[in-house]
Amino acid sequence: MGHSNIQWNHQYIQANGIRIHYVRHGKGPPIFLLHGWPEFWFVYRKNILPLAESFDVIVPDLRGFGQTEKPALPDPPSRLVQTLADDLPALADGLGLKQFGVVSHDVAANIIQVYARQHPERVLGLFFFNCPYPGIGRRWAEADTLKEIWYQSFHQLPWAAHLVGYNRETCRMYFANMLRHWCHRPDTFDEDLEVWVDNFMAPGNLQGGFNWYIAMNETRLEIIRKGPPNLPKIQVPARFFWGVHDPVIKIEWADRLGDYFEKYTIRIAEEAGHFVAYEQPEPANEEIIQFFSKISTSASR
């Protein structure tokens, strides 16, 4: 079935002071699918309907991304991380959901770790694809990694969004590089490349995403300077499905998960890079269904 024929159920809600766009399908225990960068809700297009057979699947655009509102950065910018963490319960409250599961990776994985430490009682389970977490520590700045994380500094330049979004060609060039280089098979995203260009050429979407890197810079540099911080372990059950070919969030960095997650399991996605849910949708969907089915069964006892 071509994805252009699917009638996606687009919804909007006012929550935490902004208008949030989300797609929602299915019935059952609620799970949120939360995206990273350079992404928006559509990165989960191969997962939503299969998961909707078992779950109430809610896929928002994060603040600053896609069709969700893009307010200016707070002062100081580092407050954005907590604001994003507050958007999730506000959205859940607006939808009348007390407890929910969360699937996330990349940007959203950072946000949900903050939230799960503050409100573990609301989160049934955490399912992570490739996950930036504090245990990566100084390794972000290792010699072999520096060439991979250049964009995290570039995005903070005041003219970066203008340069990337100068026209469709510059935008396409930028995202084609990311989508091809971060995938195990470089052509994986080719059929959707123009959808990505459309999304990021929409007003405010480049800067909206780049603002995440401005907000995170202080924390990022602190971890590189001082190494992994000591934090209370996240108590919510966690499952990781990590792409072995990710050049940015490397599989070998999963070695300290036990220092930050009390109850976790990990499996390796052998044929995936950074975008596991998109690159390997069938195994990803199976892992998600298996994990949350177990949790929702034990939660309903």
Higher pLDDT, 224 or 5: 224
How confident is the model at residue 244, as a pLDDT? 98
Q: For the domain 7-299, what is the CATH superfamily, name and number?
A: Alpha/Beta hydrolase fold, catalytic domain (3.40.50.1820)
Reduced to 3 states, what is the DSSP secondary structure of residue 115? helix
Give the range among 154-163, 178-187, 246-255, 289-298 with minimum mean pLDDT.
289-298
Q: Tokens 């059950």 — which residue?
A: 237
The ranges assigned to domains in the chain are 7-299
Catalytic one of 35, 155, 245, 274: 274
Rounded to two decimals, what is the model's pTM?
A: 0.96
Amino acid, single-letter form, for residue 123: V
Annotated active-site residue in 56, 61, 106, 246: 106
pLDDT score, position 274: 98
Q: What is the mean pLDDT of the chain?
A: 96
Is 93 known to be catalytic?
A: no
Quick check: 299 pLDDT over 60? no
Angle between helices 80-94 and 106-118 (to 10 degrees): 80
Phi, psi of 90 (to 5 degrees): -65, -40
Query: Any catalytic annotation for residue 181?
Result: no
Q: Catalytic residue at 106?
A: yes
- Residue 5: predicted pLDDT: 79
Instruction: Look at residue 295 in the predicted model and tell me its pLDDT.
Output: 85
Catalytic pick among 174, 213, 264, 278? 213
- Beta-sheet pairing, 18-25 with 56-60: antiparallel
For residue 72, CA distances in Å to 3, 214, 221 come to 33, 12, 23
Residue 301: band (very low, low, confident or very high) from pLDDT cuts 50, 70, 90: very low
What does the alpha-carbon distance between residue 87 and residue 89 come to, in Å, rounded to a whole number? 6
Write out pLDDT tens, residues 179-223.
Answer: 999 999 999 999 999 999 999 999 999 999 999 999 999 999 999
Which amino acid belongs to residue 78? S
CA dist., res. 46 & res. 35, Å (int):
13
- Asked whether the predicted pLDDT for residue 4 surpasses 80, the reply is no
Beta strands of the chain (E only): which ranges?
10-15, 18-25, 30-34, 56-60, 100-104, 123-128, 238-243, 264-269
Q: What CA–CA distances, in Å, run from 229 to 21, 107, 132, 136, 256?
A: 34, 19, 14, 10, 12
